[in-house]
Chain A
């Protein structure tokens, strides 16, 4: 547990996100944003773990997050994404979608764009549950079962898919520039192609028989057909969207809802998940079977519906480690990343060697030395 910094912030944290660093530089991220929920006054906050703004040279305080600025947010922050270096998009429980601008010079935040009631019922507001950005495009989903497509700097709505889902949509991710994937509260994954007209998904995947709500989804950073999902039962599922209706592998992970799952953006052999049960897991596929790692537990693979099939083109080295989820050879290791802790870990983000997560215990944990 070395290198973990905890900071109590007097707000339940619903989302944490690193500010992206330019891909050319090798530097580690030092700024992150958090959103709060279930408070009388919710807010989004920008934190720094770097040197700027911190005068103390004490070793003790190194990496202790310092608050840079804060801005009031109407409603719970249900999702939060960086659009670019200085713009942040939030999804609110009031159904609003807001773009905040972070002014680096003055360390202030301001609202630069607001779509009020982006998600709504005939009379009431509907919570907007998820947002994903592919600058300048922004896609949001909500409990009203709508998918909305916005473009930053444009006031109107680019596209609305009404009745995209009969129940609440919980999360969304981009597969390609025109394709998105949503997960809903009855355990389905739906693929949508914005090039096609109409309100029908191009594909629906689900675990037959089970109707376990899914809460999070993330796409493999290099191989766009591989996605990871997590749901109410805490299981981690890896899917290949090209291949039929079943997940490639299903792994027992957490004992309660899995709230977020993330592939490591530059080292996708690593995956991170967090849960209502208060745990944060680091998953690692090790290609090297000769040196079994000593720490961590072997994970129980429940089903392997089909062994990996080499992708078309047949380059063996491209076979993804997640698709060959072979437990017998000890390919998968998991490590708990937080000290035992009881309250839900709602969100995590990982970039470079840095990981940040936020909990219902009103604490933010930062780990700057994730073994990647």
Chain B
């Protein structure tokens, strides 16, 4: 048996004592149903608990804000899949980078909204709880950025790495701007208690211009120390920042940077800032003094901020391959030796080591849904950064994660539509998953059914289309909507069901003497050929229409052909023969001699059969009142009358010659 990576978590079921009772469970697609079993450990039978508990793995999916994330990222995902395979990789790279930027901006919007919601104090506890819940996954959503940066952008120019890292850190610690606004808006900014925090935070994030702007306030207040402020301002201004857009080479930058660094060092040794502790600290930060940096742990708040600041001031030209070394040491320096790094920390560390598989694995364990790993893996796979890593179950890693994510979406009453596109882009098992899931979408309205059918039709899933149409037909039949049921079974091309419904129509006709749903039956068109019984229904109705329009000879011809071509079911022949009576009794001759012969033949065939059904419908349907009370006469006599009338018709035919 394989080892587990982490201990499984225990979910307590409220009101259930596991010492005394037993639980049973059933897997669902995204959640499990848990119930109490009757079986008892100590024998005897106790009344079972009437509750079935639904245990959900993923609560995030129900958060309205994260739903926006799901929808928007779906859009980006599909865009990514459409980047053509055959494009040369040179052209693809900018597209991938823009895709990863799109993901980032979506995440940023979602984050901002979450922060807004969390910031409103009058929030109900429930909402607060939800935002707490999503915080964990949010953490990683933020860090989507850094993974994208590290893995996708991955600029070979070493100098730009620090810039990307700085971008990422600024996103994390966006609260400094908020604080700065507050300070600057106060009456005397320089005396605000958070004043120095703001200045130093800016410096730590490498935002020198902002830091200088705030510093000016203090300088104005202390004219005596103007020289000192001027000096620091100068140092901050002159700090070289690598700009990959310019033609400057890395060596040139390095020379410039060393030069500046010496200047700062010089100032420190001169004790130029000795009279002001804050200014001296800033200066020490500029030379990357780790002890001073660690004094500002509060402002840095995380070890990776510490790492980035340290790189900025000590190793601005760090190469991606060296990153993990600094990362590890930064983490150890920043965290207490006693405290154990959290799982999220180790994920980041793995990311800095460019161990993609470790990152994905750790994220899968730490997060409660597959959004993050699914999209990340997909993006990396498109960038060809993921070695094809075939699993011993399912397909490859990308497909496995996407399938999990999409299956989760499918369990949602509303987000299931998004999942379809994810399944589409899982070449190996996507279709099977979709086929199994799509049939299980609850269908309340025809409109929803039509949407589901459209999804299936676009993917040539004929079997599923048929099954959904059949469900709808059954539903209509249960509600006594024969017309609707027939329409659905025609759409499903379900001959057996169409036959069944046609039977119902004929039965209704026999019982009531009129057809219902004429608008449908009169307009069957070629759909009539779906089943023999349906053809008969359509044709028989056509006979009625012809008769109603007094086109007797056409009607007679059709009636006869229904029997001779064996379209009519035998059980219905008696009715058809009875329908022939009023035609036979017309003043002019309608049936020719040949036709009358055929009619005789039909009658004979009917009587030779063992069980001859009685015509069980009223006779006045065609406006014909029989000369004899037919319903009262016994059956053979009934046939006799038929015989007689047909013979007399034959006679008149012959007489006219």
Where the two chains meet, the residues of A that have a C-beta atom closer than 8 Å to any C-beta of B are 8, 10-12, 37-40, 75-76, 78, 93, 121-124, 126-127, 129, 143-145, 163, 165-168, 184-186, 188, 190, 204, 206, 208-211, 213, 232, 256-257, 276, 341-344, 360-363
Nearest A-chain residue to B483, judged by Cβ = A166
Q: Does B519 contact A (CB under 8 A)?
A: yes
Q: A126-B479, A256-B454 in contact; A361/B519 too (CB < 8 A)?
A: no
Stretch at the interface among B66-74, B254-262, B338-346: B66-74
Q: A78 vs B518: C-alpha distance in the bound complex, in angstroms?
A: 27
Q: A78-B447, A127-B445, A143-B446 in contact; A211/B74 too (CB < 8 A)?
A: no
Q: A78-B447, A145-B481 in contact; A276/B516 too (CB < 8 A)?
A: no
Q: A121-B479, A344-B451, A363-B71 in contact; A167/B445 too (CB < 8 A)?
A: no
On whether the beta carbons of A186 and B68 are closer than 8 Å, the reply is no
Among B67, B414, B517, residue most surrounded by chain A Cβ atoms (within 10 Å): B414
Q: A38-B448, A209-B525 in contact; A163/B413 too (CB < 8 A)?
A: no
Closest 5 CB pairs of A and B: A166-B483, A166-B517, A121-B479, A10-B64, A8-B68
On whether the beta carbons of B448 and A168 are closer than 8 Å, the reply is no
Chain A residues with Cβ under 8 A from B448's Cβ? 37-38, 76
CB proximity of B457 to chain A, nearest CB, Å: 9
On whether the beta carbons of B481 and A121 are closer than 8 Å, the reply is yes
Q: A300 vs B245: C-alpha distance in the bound complex, in angstroms?
A: 50
On whether the beta carbons of A166 and B445 are closer than 8 Å, the reply is no
Chain B residues with Cβ under 8 A from A37's Cβ? 448
User: How many pairs of residues, A versus B, come closer than 8 Å at their CB atoms?
Assistant: 118
Q: A363 vs B413: C-alpha distance in the bound complex, in angstroms?
A: 17
Q: A166 vs B515: C-alpha distance in the bound complex, in angstroms?
A: 11
Chain A residues with Cβ under 8 A from B483's Cβ? 145, 165-167
Q: Does B608 contact A (CB under 8 A)?
A: no
Among A93, A165, A167, residue most surrounded by chain B Cβ atoms (within 10 Å): A167
8 contacts between A and B (CB under 8 A): A143-B484, A163-B516, A166-B481, A166-B483, A186-B519, A342-B75, A360-B417, A362-B67
Q: Does B421 contact A (CB under 8 A)?
A: yes
Q: Mark B463-486, 1 if CB is under 8 A from A, else 0.
A: 000000000000000011111100
On whether the beta carbons of B520 and A186 are closer than 8 Å, the reply is yes
Contact of A166 among B67, B451, B479, B519 (CB under 8 A): B519
Q: Does B527 contact A (CB under 8 A)?
A: yes
Q: Does B137 contact A (CB under 8 A)?
A: no
Q: A8 vs B72: C-alpha distance in the bound complex, in angstroms?
A: 8
Chain A residues with Cβ under 8 A from B252's Cβ? none
On whether the beta carbons of B414 and A39 are closer than 8 Å, the reply is yes
Q: Mark B504-533, 1 if CB is under 8 A from A, else 0.
A: 000000000000111110011111000000
Nearest B-chain residue to A187, judged by Cβ = B523
Chain B residues with Cβ under 8 A from A168's Cβ? 446, 484
Nearest A-chain residue to B72, judged by Cβ = A8
CB proximity of B42 to chain A, nearest CB, Å: 41
Q: A341 vs B418: C-alpha distance in the bound complex, in angstroms?
A: 12
CB proximity of B33 to chain A, nearest CB, Å: 18
Chain B residues with Cβ under 8 A from A360's Cβ? 417, 451
Q: Mark B487-502, 1 if CB is under 8 A from A, else 0.
A: 1001000000000000
Q: A342 vs B80: C-alpha distance in the bound complex, in angstroms?
A: 13
Chain B residues with Cβ under 8 A from A204's Cβ? 519
